[in-house]
């Protein structure tokens, strides 16, 4: 284990045993005598480390194993196999000292009490975590400033909008000043403005406290704004661990080429140069195999009156979609060097 690694997991696995039966009364009666089961691997022997102060994106489609992994790291689930250490603790032992130093925020779960003012839930959390009064007051002041909560604290949770509630949920989870944050879809369902505010807050909290953050999100704007490093899993298996900017280089087999001609398109069949993605006002966007980029751009410049030409990596959203459309391990075994923090 690296000296400065806060999260270290090694061959971590979680297998669920689920019941199966056919439809119909006879099958239901048969299942009373002998049940048919099968094993489902939610997490399949994944390994990675996260260093102190990192904000790491943990990506994958629904059912990939992201939430299961976060639940094991936060102590809510026991693994089937493998090991994990967070801040030097085994999470599923649920040591009080460990629980005081981490938090799990799930965008689809409530911890605020529904019918009482938000500040009363904060007071309850203060008692649960045994936060000294002076530290609690300071934490409330800082979180109120960072998340703009002043007008919300005296209102019952049921009277808050989704965005307002999510801000208060995050504040309630951070009153004890955790040094490790597991954030599971913290901006889900929020409008664009509120998403930006949550992202800005996570950045500021990380800079002020040096907290380590493991973030799952389906919004690529969250990942691009917060994370230099990403971990991608699919069907419980690790597909990629490295820099966000390197994800396109390692996975996407194409480049995006945008061409503008001097005198417009004039009916020219530009699709012969690559896959036509878009065509607007004399400007064409082509998708070209990465290995052919140099030869195709050379042909475009030699054969057409090009006014402007740009070559870019594909959008991260397209790269992730390409990853998830592949088999569970399109990259083969992850590079051991990628498991180190970047």
Give the model confidence (pLDDT) of 226-272 as tens digits: 999 999 998 899 989 999 888 877 777 788 899 888 876 666 677 78
End-to-end alpha carbon distance in the chain: 15
217: exposed, middle or buried (Cβ count in 10 Å: 0-12, 13-18, 19+): buried
The token duo for 267 is 């009916």
Looking at residue 123, what is its pLDDT?
A: 96
Within 8 A by CB and 6+ apart from 175, the residues are: 122, 125, 126, 129, 131, 136, 139, 140, 143
Looking at residue 44, what is its pLDDT?
A: 96
Taking all residues of the chain, what is their mean pLDDT, rounded to a whole number?
A: 87
The alpha carbon dihedral of 251, 196, 182, 218 has a sign of negative
Question: Quick check: helix, strand or coil at residue 132?
Answer: coil
Angle at which helix 162-174 crosses helix 133-147, to 10 degrees, equals: 150
Pairwise CA distance, residues 37 & 17, whole Å: 6
pLDDT tens, position by position, 265-301: 666 677 788 888 888 777 888 889 888 999 999 998 9
The token duo for 196 is 């930006």
Q: Which domains does the chain have, with CATH numbers?
A: 5-249 (3.40.50.300), 253-312 (3.30.70.980)
The token duo for 301 is 């410049």
User: Contact at 8 Å (CB) between 11 and 82?
Assistant: yes
Residue 339 scores a pLDDT above 50: no
Our CA angle for 5, 10, 16, nearest 5°, is 130
How far CA 320 is from CA of 45, 218, 325, in Å, comes to: 21, 10, 9
More confident residue, 147 or 25: 147
Looking at residue 23, what is its pLDDT?
A: 82
pLDDT tens, position by position, 9-36: 999 999 998 888 778 888 778 877 888 8
More confident residue, 192 or 212: 212
Pairwise CA distance, residues 298 & 292, whole Å: 10
Question: Quick check: helix, strand or coil at residue 12?
Answer: strand
Residue 341 scores a pLDDT above 70: no
Spacing of C-alpha 111 from chain mean position: 21
How far CA 246 is from CA of 210, 249, 252, in Å, comes to: 25, 5, 10
The token duo for 197 is 């505010």
The band of 337, judged by pLDDT with boundaries at 50, 70 and 90, is very low
């Amino acid at each position: 284990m690296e000296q400065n690694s806060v999260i270290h997991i090694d061959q971590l696995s979680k297998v669920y045993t689920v019941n199966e039966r056919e439809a119909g009364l006879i099958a239901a009666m048969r299942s009373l005598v002998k049940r048919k089961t099968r094993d489902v691997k939610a997490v399949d022997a994944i390994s990675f480390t996260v260093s102190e102060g990192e904000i790491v994106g943990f990506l994958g489609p629904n059912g990939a194993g992201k939430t299961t992994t976060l639940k094991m790291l936060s102590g809510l689930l026991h693994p089937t196999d493998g090991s994990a250490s967070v801040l030097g603790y085994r999470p599923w032992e649920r040591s009080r000292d460990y629980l005081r130093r981490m938090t799990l925020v799930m965008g689809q779960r409530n911890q605020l009490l529904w019918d009482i003012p938000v500040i009363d839930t904060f007071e309850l959390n203060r008692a649960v975590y045994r936060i000294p009064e002076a530290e609690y007051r300071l934490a409330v002041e800082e979180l109120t400033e960072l998340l703009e909560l002043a007008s919300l604290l005296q209102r019952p949770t049921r009277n808050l909008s989704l965005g307002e509630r999510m801000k208060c949920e995050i504040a309630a989870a951070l009153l004890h000043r955790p040094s490790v944050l597991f954030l599971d879809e913290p901006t889900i369902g929020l409008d664009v403005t509120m998403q930006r505010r949550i992202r800005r807050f996570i950045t500021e909290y990380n800079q002020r406290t040096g907290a380590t953050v493991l973030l799952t999100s389906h919004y690529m704007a969250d990942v691009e704004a917060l994370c230099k490093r990403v971990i991608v899993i699919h069907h419980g298996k690790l597909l990629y661990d490295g820099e966000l900017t390197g994800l396109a280089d390692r996975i996407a087999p194409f480049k995006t080429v945008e061409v503008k001609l001097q005198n417009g398109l004039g009916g020219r069949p530009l699709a012969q140069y690559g896959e036509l993605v878009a065509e607007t006002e004399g400007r064409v966007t082509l998708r070209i195999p990465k290995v052919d980029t140099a030869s195709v751009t050379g042909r475009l410049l030699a054969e057409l009156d090009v006014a402007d030409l740009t070559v870019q990596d594909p959008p991260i959203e397209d790269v992730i979609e390409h990853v998830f459309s592949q088999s569970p391990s399109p990259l083969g075994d992850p590079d051991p060097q990628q498991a180190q923090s970047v």
